Amino acid sequence: MSVSRKRDLVGPFRVALGGLVYTFKTQRHMRFHLYVVLIVVMLGILVNLQLREMLVLLFTISLVLVAEMFNSAIEATVDLVSPNYNPMAKFAKDIAAGAVLITTIIALAVGGLLILGDNRWEQLKINLTSEAPGLPFVGRMVLGGIVVFTVVVIGKGLGQRGRVLQGGLVSGHSAFAFLLATSAMFLTENALATGIAFLLAALVAQSRWEAKIHTVVELCLGAAVGVITGLLIFGLLPK
């Protein structure tokens, strides 16, 4: 009786561990998210986060990994039930991928706020609300958004495929994500916060590649548009 009970305890654990290893070995996006998680955890250690802050960070990160595993399980189940193309099957996969994206963005946002700390967060609010001469931060963001949107539309028109709101030569999601990351670099003037912002932008670009909406070249073009626009708007315009 004792041997069978031990087998019952070890068996489920072995199955669960096998599922975790299989997901890591076969799913590229799972590996990508895990690498991002490791980077964020190391940043938290470098800035000496308190125990409670590390626990909050680890809990939030675990939600990302769990959501990614559920996403992989849903994709495998949908492919098994509906091997041929079905709009509802695609809808189910898109919802699962969207859940992963939301949890990842929240995890990176939580990590960024914890690494910034209370003092830098207060300084960030002061920078956003200060009455500085020249074009204010919000005005620069609006101008940058208009410039990026115009360049993206023109780029999509020059390409041979895609539409204004999906696909095309220049990735709009990548362009706007890297514009925000570049603006964060000028706003915070903090290397760790800037690194997290660019990680988040890279995650947005990676999600478009995983969904097979854009190629790597199109995503790089979008990133270049966002970064160059951000450098021009925040670096060259008079403050």
The predicted-structure confidence for 28-43, as pLDDT tens digits, reads as follows 777 777 777 777 777 7
d(CA 170, CA 225): 8
Question: What's the pTM?
Answer: 0.56
Residue 1 has pLDDT above 50, yes or no: no
**pLDDT value at residue 225:** 92
Give me the mean pLDDT over the 166-184 stretch: 83
Domain boundaries, the chain: 9-118, 131-239
Give me the mean pLDDT over the 134-156 stretch: 79
What kind of fold does domain 9-118 have according to CATH? Helix Hairpins (1.10.287)
The pLDDT tens digits for 59-108 are: 888 888 888 888 888 888 888 888 888 888 888 888 887 788 788 778 77
Give me the mean pLDDT over the 202-208 stretch: 80
CA 145 to chain centre: 19
Catalytic positions are 68
**pLDDT value at residue 90:** 82
